Structure 1
Amino acid sequence: MSNADVITLPKLLSKVPEVIGNLPGLIKGSKMSKNTDANTPLGLGVAFEHATAQNPNGVAILYEDRELTYKQFNAWANRIADYLASIGLKKGDTVAVDIENRPELLATVLGCAKLGVCAALLNTSQKGKVLVHSVNLVEPKAVIAGEELVATIQEIRDDLDLKKNFFYFADQDTLADPGTAPEGFANLATEIKDCSSENPATTHQTFLHDPLFYIYTSGTTGLPKAVVFKHGRWEKAYGAFGFSAVRLGKDDRLYCTLPFYHATGMVICWASVIAGHGGLAVARKFSASRFWDDVRKHNCTAFGYVGELCRYLHEQPEKPDDANNPVKVIVGNGLRPSIWKNFKSRFGIERVVELYASSEGNVAFTNVFNFDNTVGFSPVSYAIVKYDKEADEPVRDKNGHMIKVSKGESGLMLGEITDKTPFDGYTDPDKTEKAIFRDVFKKGDAWFNTGDMMRDIGFRHAQFVDRLGDTFRWKGENVSTTEVEQILDGTAPVVESVVYGVEIPGTNGRAGMAELRLNQPHGDVDWAGLTAEVQRELPPYAVPVFLRITDHGVETTGTFKHQKNKLKEEKYDLQKVDDPVYVLLPGESAYQRLTPEIQQGIDGGQYRF
């Protein structure tokens, strides 16, 4: 950390004019984020109907060459809600949704929200055993799949507990042409055709504590966890980002290439747009080469990001017209300090609304004051406490209490669990309890363990440092080491595996690496077959980039946790590692033996991970 990043009083005062200019929005957003009223209707459906009333003919959704006004999109969602109600779905039920980024996904989620039905936002990269687990975990009453993912659902259908209510959206403009559903699926676009386009009464029967959707997060104990995201939590994001931080208007358009099964896209980006009654330009997938052309085509004044996205844009060859774009503000998380200022100036960006939050967490930071190199400011009760990485636990004083770090120091981020900042937890009560520290500063208090190391830079601002434990971040996704270990351990040649994240120069996050003990010489392994099996069972971002082959047992701590610190330090460096190392290079279909020449190419940025 540069001392220049520490926030001083003069620095804070220099931002006062900007803050005063947005005082009404800040007050409104702050009030909404602290709401504890459980009797007032709120949430996604209520907010969208309000935006529709305010700007009925304004563009709500843009996708490729399609444009839908608020009135059109709202009516579409109403028909979905009406149909789902007609087949017996009601408030409290769950629908599993597996559709890639396109209007059909958002209309489905909004329709469910208006009915009080919880949409389980399946990660569209999931397949096989992981997908079976994710669907069965939430006990859905229906599955709604896009044509692009029907084959994935078909492969696992016999393993699902649900035996009926499988719906389909063709991969096209289903409002213009519903297409034909495959056998075993009902065509939702056809089914809703004659349903009511009027706002349902159920929209105003969703309250603070009602579930809105499930978002899947990679757990530290294996398969994905389904995190409950409630309407009240959505309302907080709507206030904090829509009114306080991002501040869009009805003429603004935000470009989102992030997957909507994550909260940054589905909650932060879309809520910011709805608050301003503006337009959301949706991209199916991120493309660095097409990004700015799309931004200009849709005349977008904002976009959503994760750090990896910004790095890819930054690595594109510079063009004289880089700053000639309409974007003024970007919102997201993970923008690296090493490119932050250069990225802003190169692309002519005025404000970076960096944020820190997690799907399950109760503490959030937002860069409302537009400082550089910070996740921003948090109005809620949090603590950054001293952490012993070797012992893998917080430091406690002689009274058993944790110790807060000093300004400029880093430690473990905790969020206090209160009525205003509840921890909604997971579907599994045991997992919920494991994420809570009790008696932290006084007897009876409770704090959520974020698992993240943060640096206190003063005036309630923080800087992200690193992620702890058995989860690491790669390609903008959280990877569960235990989940990857379970898949590796299930392959024929692997006796034991330990998975961890390692840094590759010039990339964001950590690439997956596994230490493997095999039941045969590594030279005899069918590496192409093993690669294909791992790729079949894991999403692309979770497939390990490096494999380290060992002939001894994996080192463990006294509590039988895998000893990963040394492995992380040695990573794939052949000067430090005596064991054979294999690598899966970008575009290759099989792991190959790492050589000094290949390592030099990796460290020199020759390969695009």
Structure 2
Amino acid sequence: MRHVPSDTITWGMMLRKLPMIAKALPRVVKGMKVANVTDPTQSCGLGWTFEQATLRNPDGPALMQGEVLLTYAQVNQWANRIAHYLSGQGIGKGDVVAVFIENRPELLVTILALAKVGAVSALLNTSQTRDTLIHSVNLVAPVALIVGEELVPAFAAVREQVSIAPQRTWFVADQDTYSHPGIAPEGYVNLISASADAPSDNPPSSRQVFCDDPCFYIYTSGTTGLPKAGVFKHGRWMRSSASFGMIALDMRPDDVVYCTLPLYHATGLCVCWGSAINGASGFAIRRKFSASQFWSDVRRYRATTLGYVGELCRYLVDQPVSADDNRHDVRKMIGNGLRPGAWAEFKTRFGVDHICELYAASDGNIGFTNILNFDNTVGFSLMAWELVAYDHDSGEPLRSDDGFMRKVGKGEQGLLLARIDEKAPLDGYTDPQKTARVVLHDVFNKGDRFFNTGDLLRNIGFGHAQFVDRLGDTYRWKGENVSTTEVENLLLQHPQISEAVAYGVEICDTNGRAGMAAITPAESLATLDFAELLSFVRQRMPAYAVPLFLRVKVKMETTGTFKYQKTRLKKEGFDPGQTGGDPIFAWLPGSETYVQLNEQLLTEIQQGQYRY
């Protein structure tokens, strides 16, 4: 008898959910109608939905951070002033504007203003520097750039390599600019001051934005080593905000979402903010996540809903137990990456009724949502999807003798494919060739097309799935997708490294996979200065991408087709007993160098004595 995972959903479990299903059905029907905008002449999108929310709840809190509290009417009028000003400066429909601001109200108001004029916000990752930043800007050929004061040094270092005119390089001071616009440095135009006297009524352009118009470019890790820009259209904004805000969470004007996730990613921006706007609800944000301040912020903002990634939940569980753990108004949370091992502990300790785990990709065409509040599942999808058998070494889907792919059985893990059709179009990337690479043809029938997500899921019954792992040349750590090729390319810039292979490895009691790299020294192990090497990579990579483990190899093994044997490296991990004599070095939390791993240190890491 085939083993069925314990998380399988049974008839009995479904029957117990019938009252919830009956109660949710009316809003599901309404939400699907709002989400599926197909009329190419119907006004829709971010700007339009925010204006509708303002009509519904003008004096309710829209954005909160620290001492700043802005109502829907205030945010809408502020965005309108910026939109009218930008329009007067020649920014219009289809123009790409790069946005480089950390989590704060000014970031969201700027994005909203650009959406109202029909421009496309290229949401630069605020951790990027140097070559990666240059690539990300030039990839989308922006006509302008808006930079926050906190990121001016990073932008100034690459300014000569990106061609944007000074009069279109707008500056936003790092302070409460709604009250105090600040002063721009030489070579920049102060966006807030320049737009202060513009009209505050809704611009006509916000009603000329339609479902097929691009709203954002959201960057994803590219298998070629540098980020790709995924296209997120206004029609997809409607699907996302209604699916999560109305159908999944039933957001209302008295709700408040607390979000510490980076707003250049789709989970924070489209899922969390989109849900808040859909319900005309409050949206409270923080510049950077803080485990120690998290619940006090939640109480301060009277949050009812949390945005999360699995790593965030683990950090909260790791905090000392407090009598206040249950003292809050949170009833629901939405996000992704919460592992089954931490699910029950989090839900019980913090008294959250509904964990609305989701699965989605900013560059994909499918989403799953745990609407029915089962444990340990990403829920179900209204889109057509299948799980297929795949090659464990290459990650590629397998075809049978008849040329078609084979679906896996219930309880088995398989590669997730999403059907591409009128109901679920694929917006893809700015580069058509990159889009073509993720589209599979003639999958089950001649002429059908599917999006290859590159992710492994498990079917646990009644249309529900469970996330298993990522395939290919990316892994997820600290809530960020890391490109192994980008890590390898940066390591190879070091003069003492001749070969590098990067991959993700699991550490006990952590979410995702930590970075590890097998390296071959250009000369010998003795020539490597590990403190200098760590400093070198930390200067060039975001903190989440820096490898925590190094495996030093005299020679790198390859396959017959000269591919590195990454599957074997992943399997052997960072256990010196499994690496055939190759020394392993670890970067321990709080240290400034890599140290060689021995059996005792390995045991301490596996027992959780170091908090990664």
TM tier, smaller? over 0.9
Residue 144 of structure 1, aligned match among 136, 139, 146: 146
- Aligned AA (1:431): K
**Do residues 128 (structure 1) and 130 (structure 2) align?**
yes
Structure-2 change in CA distance of 1:391 and 1:295 (3 Å)? closer
Could you say which residue in structure 1 is the equivalent of 2:31? 29
> How far is the alpha carbon of 1:33 from its aligned partner?
3.5
Residue 281 of structure 1 aligns to a residue whose secondary structure is strand
User: Whole-Å Cα distance in 1 between the matches of residues 314 and 322 of structure 2?
Assistant: 16
Is the contact made by 2:475 and 2:482 (CA closer than 8 Å) also made in structure 1?
yes
**Alpha-carbon shift at residue 391 of structure 1 (Å):** 4.9
- Counterpart in 1 of 2:460? 457
- Of residues 583, 592, 596 in structure 2, which corresponds to 1:593? 596
Partner of 2:184: 181
Take 1:311 and 1:392, find their aligned partners in 2: how far apart are those partners?
29
Q: Which amino acid aligns with 1:260?
A: L
- The superposition leaves residues 531-562 of structure 1 with CA deviations (integer Å, 9 ceiling, x where unpaired) of 2221121111111111111111x233344332
> How much has 1:430 moved relative to structure 2?
1.6
User: 1:35·1:420 contact (CA, 8 Å) conserved in 2?
Assistant: no
Structure 1 residue matching 2:577: 3-state secondary structure: coil
SS at match of 2:6: helix
Task: Give the match's secondary structure for 2:495.
Answer: coil
Q: How does 1:188-267 map to 2 (within 5 A)?
A: 188-267=191-270
Q: Which deviates the most, 325-334 or 428-437? A: 428-437
Match of 1:526 among 505, 529, 535: 529
Alpha-carbon contact 1:139-1:162 (below 8 Å) kept: no
Deviation readout 1:383-406 (Å, 9 max, x if unpaired): 101122035322222101111111
Aligned counterparts, 1:279-290, within 5 A: 279-290=282-293
**In the TM superposition, what are the counterparts of 1:188-587 in structure 2 within 5 Å?**
188-552=191-555, 554-577=556-579, 578-587=581-590
Distance in 2, Cα, partners of 1:521 & 1:97:
44
Which residue of structure 2 aligns with residue 161 of structure 1? 163
CA distance in 1, matches of 2:529, 2:34: 57
CA distance in 2, matches of 1:432, 1:605: 41
Note if contact 1:485-1:498 (Cα within 8 Å) is conserved in structure 2. Answer: yes
Give the letter for the 2:159 counterpart.
R
Alpha-carbon distance between aligned partners in 2 of 1:34 and 1:43, rounded to the nearest angstrom:
12
Q: Is the 8 Å Cα contact of residues 220 and 470 (structure 1) preserved in structure 2?
A: yes
Distance 2:511 2:532 in 1: 29
Which deviations, in whole Å up to 9, do the C-alpha atoms of 1:313-349 show, x marking residues without a partner?
1111111221111100000001110111121111111
Q: 2:144 and 2:75 mapped to 1: Cα distance?
A: 22
Any idea what the Cα deviations from partners look like across 1:407-444, whole Å, max 9, x if unmatched?
Answer: 11110000011111111111222211111111110111
Q: Indicate if the aligned counterparts of 1:128 and 1:536 stay in contact, CA closer than 8 A.
A: no
Residue 592 of structure 1: SS of its match in structure 2?
A: strand
State whether residues 385 and 417 of structure 2, in contact with CA within 8 Å, keep that contact through their aligned partners in structure 1: yes
| Cα displacement (A) at 1:89 | 0.7
| Offset of residue 565 of structure 1 | 1.1
- 2 CA distance for matches of 1:454 and 1:546? 27
Q: Partner of 1:107 in structure 2?
A: 109
In the TM superposition, what is the alpha-carbon distance from 1:48 to its structure 2 partner? 0.3
State the shift of 1:2 in Å.
7.0
Tell me, yes or no, if the aligned pair for 2:144 and 2:165 is still in contact at 8 Å: no
Structure 2 spans left out of the alignment, 5+ residues: none
Q: Given the superposition, is the C-alpha separation of residues 428 and 556 from structure 1 closer, same or farther in structure 2, using an over 3 Å criterion?
A: farther
Letter in structure 2 aligned against 1:77: A
Secondary structure at the residue paired with 1:133? helix
Q: Is the 8 A contact 1:304 1:330 kept in 2?
A: yes
Per the normalisation by structure 2, the TM-score is 0.98
- In 2, Cα distance between equivalents of 1:561 and 1:230: 37
Deviation at 1:271, TM superposition (A): 1.1
TM-score of the pair, normalised by structure 1: 0.98
Are 1:344 and 1:350, in contact at CA under 8 Å, matched by a contact in 2? Answer: yes
CA shift, 1:62, in A, is 0.8
Q: What SS class does the counterpart of residue 85 from structure 1 fall into?
A: helix
Q: Any idea what SS the aligned residue of 1:388 has?
A: coil
**Post-superposition offset of 1:163:** 3.4
Q: Distance in 2 between matches of 1:453 and 1:198?
A: 48
- 1:63 aligns with 65
Q: Which amino acid aligns with 1:459?
A: F
> In 2, Cα distance between the equivalents of 1:276 and 1:572?
47
* Residues in 1 aligned to 2:310 and 2:568: alpha-carbon distance in whole angstroms: 27
- TM superposition shift of 1:310: 0.5
Deviation, 1:74, is: 0.3
* 1-structure distance, mates of 2:442, 2:336: 31
Return the alpha-carbon distance in structure 2 between the equivalents of residues 556 and 206 of structure 1.
51
Structure 1: runs of 5+ lacking an equivalent: none
Partner residue, 1:88: 90
- Contact in 2 for aligned 1:258/1:264 (Cα 8 Å): yes
**Does structure 1 conserve the Cα–Cα contact (< 8 Å) formed by 2:4 and 2:411?**
no
Q: Which is further off, 288-297 or 529-538?
A: 529-538
How far residue 496 of structure 1 moved from its aligned partner, in angstroms, is: 1.0
The residue identity in structure 2 corresponding to 1:498 is V
CA distance in 1 between counterparts of 2:76 and 2:394 reads 53
Distance 1:403 1:478 in 2: 28
Residue 83 of structure 1 aligns with an amino acid whose one-letter code is Y
Q: CA deviation at 1:173?
A: 0.4
Matched-pair contact (CA < 8 Å) for 1:329–1:351: yes
- Choose which of 9, 16, 19 in structure 1 pairs with 2:18: 16
Structure 2 counterpart of 1:136, one-letter code: N
**Cα offset, 1:58, TM superposition:** 0.7
Deviations 1:456-504 (A, max 9, x none): 1111110001111111000000000011111111111111111100001
Q: Distance in 2 between matches of 1:79 and 1:384?
A: 48
**Cα distance, 1:141 vs structure 2:** 1.0
Q: CA deviation at 1:601?
A: 1.9
Q: How far apart are the structure 2 equivalents of 1:342 and 1:598?
A: 28
Secondary structure of 1:520 counterpart: coil
Question: For residues 496 and 353 of structure 1, what CA distance do their matches in structure 2 show?
Answer: 43
Distance in structure 2 (CA, Å) of the matches to 1:396 and 1:598? 45
Separation in structure 1 between the aligned mates of residue 130 and residue 247 of structure 2, nearest angstrom: 42
* Displacement of 1:185: 1.1
Cα deviations across residues 57-78 of structure 1 (Å, max 9, x unaligned)?
Answer: 1111111011100000000100
Contact preservation (8 Å) 1:77, 1:107:
yes
Cα pair 1:217 1:227 within 8 Å, conserved: yes
